[in-house]
């Protein structure tokens, strides 16, 4: 485990080098399992971000002009280095985010899917060609990288989301600036060294650490062509509106209030296991975590409550080296906010099935641990239902029919992920057809697509037209030119014409 007694002063990664912060401002990086400050991360000023953007801008032309095969070769070398050093990456993820080893390994595996897709960039950036579209003219399209692009990453996935946001951007020829979460900067700085070792030219990969000042410079600087963001819905809306104001291409993914609809015919033992793993894994700090179990029928709900109560109370919460089911939340502020949400849920009349507040690890641990909490009889209008609680507090909503479940879900402002558990094909078809949510599962607890399919929610869960995973990444990070060409021979003759060009 990383030594948590020494507070290290971290850097930025600019121009292929570790660069000390110059703003004089720092933020604490915690080990959430111990509550200790393990590092100080510099918060870049707008002047520092401008300098980083300029370095990236200067490096871009040579990388753009390198063959797409050579760029893919660098990405492949990076993949091999990441795989060879995965134990180091796991240690960093667990230390600064509090995840379990199993969860960190899963995050790396999913992140590698994005790298693998980026290796296939030569295929994804192929253009189209038409011969003799008219008058001896051939027409073709060609894709070109945008230039300098930026990714603003969340704390909950120190490596998976940054890799999903940036791998394709690098492969298709852009210079990438990653604004890592100031809560988990060490993983991003480490993979910067792997990119350098893989042969990526200096300036093509940049990490600037910072807060709103750094973010605003990325959003407003005219040299930055595109912004990719993952985080909460209010911030995603701000990122989108500000980026659009400055004429940038943008995709901003926000929060998710994800539901698991359970039909009476489902295997409730399987449902309970799926709900607990999807709901409480990573201390519920996933945008695709299941927040709400929506049970169809009172009998279904009653039986599930009995099964869930015993299983949830048996969950082991602890540090990653302790064989825990899940670890701490990210910060002391997050813990206090989640505890306040539990108090509010109780005050609003929701029924506590499992109360994690009084557990020993919640009350007396130095780390930011929260034992699991489950509410029943949650209704629209309650904070537990309306808001995304980014911590191990889950809820049960009782409905009388599948139609009622679909209606409630479609009325919610967020539409990230949803799943249904049933053995009825007709019910599943109705659900997948009528539900207004971006990622849908059938008997799949977390319906996050694999890296070679697109990823994005609907409504307040997504602003902009891009995707985080999948082939649309190649489209998002490139621009297309249409070329019409004709080679004229001396024998060609054409008179003067003012008619609009057409193929007669």
Measured distance CA(400)–CA(140) in Å, rounded: 56
Burial class (CB in 10 A: 0-12, 13-18, 19+), 445: buried
Q: 226 - beta bridge partners? A: 149, 249
Which are the catalytic amino acids? Answer: 287
Q: Is 131 in contact with 137 (CB distance < 8 Å)?
A: no
149 contacts 225 by C-beta, under 8 angstroms: yes
Contacts of 416 (CB under 8 A, 6+ apart): 254, 255, 256, 257, 258, 287, 288, 437, 438, 439, 457, 458, 461, 462
Q: How far apart are CA 14 and CA 372, in angstroms?
A: 41
> Measuring CA to CA, which residue among 141, 155, 149, 189 is closest to residue 63?
149
d(CA 95, CA 84): 19
How many angstroms separate the CA atoms of 271 and 328, rounded?
A: 25
- Smallest CA-to-CA distance from 272 within 381, 353, 362 is with 353
Q: Which candidate, 27, 32, 8, 28, places its Cα nearest to that of 18? A: 8
- Give the Cα separation of 320 and 325 in Å (integer): 9
Is the distance from CB of 465 to CB of 439 less than 8 angstroms? no
The C-alpha atoms of residue 234 and residue 390 are separated, in whole angstroms, by 14
Q: Are 258 and 291 in contact (CB under 8 A)?
A: yes
């Amino acid at each position: 485990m990383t030594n948590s007694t020494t507070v290290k002063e971290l850097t930025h990664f600019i121009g292929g080098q570790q660069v000390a912060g110059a703003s004089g401002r720092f933020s604490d990086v915690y080990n959430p399992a111990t509550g200790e400050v393990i590092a100080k991360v510099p918060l870049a000023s707008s002047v520092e971000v401008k300098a980083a953007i300029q370095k990236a801008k200067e490096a871009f032309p040579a990388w753009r002009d390198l063959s797409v095969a050579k760029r893919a070769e660098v990405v492949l070398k990076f993949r091999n280095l990441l795989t060879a050093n995965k134990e180091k990456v796991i240690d960093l993820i667990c230390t600064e985010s509090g995840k379990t080893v199993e969860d960190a390994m899963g995050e790396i595996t999913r992140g590698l899917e994005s790298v693998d897709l980026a290796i296939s960039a030569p295929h994804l950036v192929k253009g189209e060609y038409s011969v003799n579209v008219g008058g001896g003219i051939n027409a073709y399209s060609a894709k070109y990288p945008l230039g300098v692009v930026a990714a603003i990453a969340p704390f909950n996935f120190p490596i998976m989301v940054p890799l999903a946001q940036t791998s394709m951007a690098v492969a298709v020829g852009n210079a990438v600036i990653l604004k890592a979460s100031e809560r988990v900067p060490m993983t991003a700085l480490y993979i910067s060294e792997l990119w350098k070792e893989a042969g990526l030219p200096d300036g093509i990969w940049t990490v600037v650490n910072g807060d709103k000042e750094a973010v605003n410079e990325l959003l407003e600087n005219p040299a930055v062509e595109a912004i990719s963001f993952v985080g909460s819905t209010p911030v995603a809306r701000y990122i989108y509106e500000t980026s659009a104001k400055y004429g940038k291409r943008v995709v901003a993914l926000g929060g998710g209030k994800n539901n698991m609809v359970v039909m009476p015919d489902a295997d409730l033992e399987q449902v309970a296991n799926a709900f607990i793993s999807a709901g409480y894994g990573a201390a519920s700090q996933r945008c695709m975590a299941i927040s709400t179990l929506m049970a169809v029928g009172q009998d279904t709900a009653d039986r599930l409550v009995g099964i869930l109560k015993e299983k949830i109370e048996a969950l082991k919460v602890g540090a990653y080296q302790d064989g825990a089911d899940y670890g701490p939340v990210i910060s002391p502020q997050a813990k206090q906010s989640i505890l306040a949400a539990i108090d509010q849920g109780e005050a609003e009349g929701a029924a506590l099935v499992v109360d994690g507040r009084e557990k020993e690890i919640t009350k007396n641990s130095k780390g930011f641990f929260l034992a699991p909490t489950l509410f029943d009889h949650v209704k629209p209008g309650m904070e537990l239902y309306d808001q995304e609680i980014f911590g191990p507090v889950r809820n049960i909503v009782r409905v009388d029919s599948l139609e009622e479940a679909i209606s409630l879900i479609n009325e919610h402002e967020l539409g990230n992920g949803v799943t249904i558990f049933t053995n009825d094909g007709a019910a599943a078809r109705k659900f997948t057809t009528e539900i207004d949510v971006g990622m849908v599962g059938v008997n799949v607890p977390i319906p996050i697509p694999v890296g070679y399919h697109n990823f994005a929610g609907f409504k307040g869960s997504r602003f902009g037209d891009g995707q985080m995973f999948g082939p649309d990444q190649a489209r998002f990070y490139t621009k297309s030119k249409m070329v019409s060409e004709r080679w004229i021979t001396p024998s060609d003759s054409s008179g003067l014409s003012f008619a609009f060009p057409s193929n007669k």
